[in-house]
């Protein structure tokens, strides 16, 4: 009996010694759980970063004592992208020395495959800063506007998705959707808006579709950093309302769009709504990292990427006034606005059931080329 106890003694002591770090870690993690949320994030981030960076799961034993790493999505969302974008915007405004312009712009051209032969001014020394280079204009003949089709591409870019809107959900990329109502915002009964007031009997989609027999369509175009950064009117229509959503400025490249659900609903965006010959029409410019500045040429009151904003808030502005009861008329191909770097354009519009897109998902497209027609 004594020999058995003697044999168990060292084993029990070893077991206690092995369990002691776990007990200490549990106590420490218990202290973390009592912290405020900002303090808890501050203390858990270093461990989380190490958890994802260190090879062979070096910190995975911590999960046995109750610690869980912050998800990669939450970790990315915590990055101050708005602050970084404002800093990038300030840097873009810095005038470059004449001798430095060609090497800096040449590096950008080589990295992103920019075609400077299409630029109205090909001389790189002409652009005083990065902002002017990003917003360069094209030669008039570089982008002929297709006159045979009712809707053209408003910008250069890549087609991420297109088709009919089903169940009030829109695909940002294949298999990843977002809520149409979250993206455009709730409909209101304000008289100067272009859509009818909400009713308990109608779905959100039915509030947008104003004519019997029509369907709701969408098209998502991603602008890469090397693309032409201005966007144009995709059809003949009248803009009656602008809704600005301050928000995050996360990257909108296709890989990130697959990773973060409802990415376009989180990011800052400017929603222009109005009417075309078949009913409701909207164009949304979605901001992204380093694209805090979204400019609409006819809207001098729009200011994006402000230092402070309330999450989930939005600002409405009507272009319908007592002196102008129709709004702002836009002709197909007319200059509409610009980004400071690559981003995303989302078209959501009403059209008859025989409307057909002339696209393939993933194809490259240029401003002026056909999106679809009846």
The closest alpha carbon to 302, from 238, 239, 260, 237, belongs to 239
Q: Specify whether the CB–CB gap between 336 and 154 falls below 8 A.
A: yes
Choice among 44, 150, 156, 248 that is catalytic: 156
CA 203/CA 205 separation, integer angstroms? 5
The token duo for 230 is 């201005």
- Choose the catalytic residue: 85, 131, 153, 343: 343
Determine which one of 218, 232, 266, 278 is catalytic. Answer: 232
Residue 97 has a CB neighbour count (10 Å cut-off) of 7
Residue 260: CB partners within 8 Å, gap ≥ 6? 73, 76, 77, 250, 266
The structure tokens 């970790």 sit at 75
CA-nearest of 153, 159, 156 to 333 is 153
Active site residue 36: no
Q: What is the DSSP string of 25-65?
A: HHHHHHHHHTS-HHHHHHHHHHHHHHHHHSGGGTTGGGGGG
DSSP 227: S
Task: For residue 146, give every residue at least 6 positions away whose Cβ sits within 8 Å of its Cβ, in sequence order, or none.
Answer: 152, 368, 369, 370
How many other CB atoms sit within 10 Å of the CB of residue 168? 17
Tell me whether residue 232 is one of the annotated catalytic residues: yes
> Dihedral (C-alpha) 21, 26, 32, 33: value to the nearest 10 degrees?
170
What is the C-alpha to C-alpha distance for residues 219 and 282, in angstroms, rounded to an integer?
11
Q: What is the phi-psi region of residue 336: left when phi exceeds 0, alpha when psi lies from -120 to 50, beta otherwise?
A: alpha
Tokens 């809207």 label which residue?
Answer: 299
For the question of residue 71 being annotated catalytic, the response is: no
Q: Do residues 228 and 156 make contact, with C-beta atoms less than 8 angstroms apart?
A: yes
Q: Show which residues are catalytic.
A: 156, 232, 343
């Amino acid at each position: 009996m004594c020999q058995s106890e003697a044999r168990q003694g060292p084993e029990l002591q070893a077991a206690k010694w092995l369990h002691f770090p776990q007990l200490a870690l549990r106590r420490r993690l218990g202290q973390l759980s009592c912290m405020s949320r900002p303090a808890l994030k501050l203390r858990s981030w270093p461990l989380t970063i190490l958890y994802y960076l260190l090879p062979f799961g070096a910190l995975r034993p911590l999960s046995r004592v109750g610690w869980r790493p912050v998800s990669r999505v939450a970790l990315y969302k915590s990055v101050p992208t708005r602050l970084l974008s404002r800093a990038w915007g300030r840097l873009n405004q810095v005038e470059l020395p004449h001798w430095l312009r060609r090497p800096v712009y040449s590096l950008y051209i080589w990295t992103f495959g920019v075609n400077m032969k299409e630029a109205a001014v090909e001389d790189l020394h002409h652009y005083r800063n990065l902002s002017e280079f990003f917003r360069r204009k094209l030669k008039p003949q570089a982008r002929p506007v297709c006159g045979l089709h009712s809707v053209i591409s408003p910008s250069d870019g890549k087609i991420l998705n297109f088709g009919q809107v089903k169940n009030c959900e829109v695909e940002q990329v294949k298999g990843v959707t977002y809520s149409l109502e979250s993206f455009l915002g709730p409909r209101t009964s304000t008289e100067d808006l272009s859509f009818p007031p909400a009713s308990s009997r109608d779905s959100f989609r039915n509030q947008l579709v104003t004519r019997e027999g029509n369907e709701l369509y969408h098209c998502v175009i991603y602008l890469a950093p090397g693309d032409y950064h201005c966007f144009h009117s995709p059809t003949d229509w009248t803009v009656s309302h602008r809704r600005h959503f301050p928000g995050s400025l996360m990257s909108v490249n296709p890989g990130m769009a697959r990773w973060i659900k409802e990415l376009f609903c989180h990011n800052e965006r400017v929603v222009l709504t109005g009417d075309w010959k078949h009913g409701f029409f909207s164009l949304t410019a979605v901001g992204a990292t380093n694209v805090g500045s979204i400019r609409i040429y006819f809207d001098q009151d729009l200011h994006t990427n402000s230092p402070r904003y309330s999450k989930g808030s939005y600002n409405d502005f009507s272009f319908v006034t007592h002196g102008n009861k129709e709004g702002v008329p836009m002709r197909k191909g007319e200059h509409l606005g610009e980004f400071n770097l690559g981003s995303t354009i989302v078209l959501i519009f009403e059209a008859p059931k025989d409307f057909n897109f002339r696209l393939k998902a993933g194809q490259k497209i240029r401003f002026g080329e056909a999106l679809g027609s009846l």
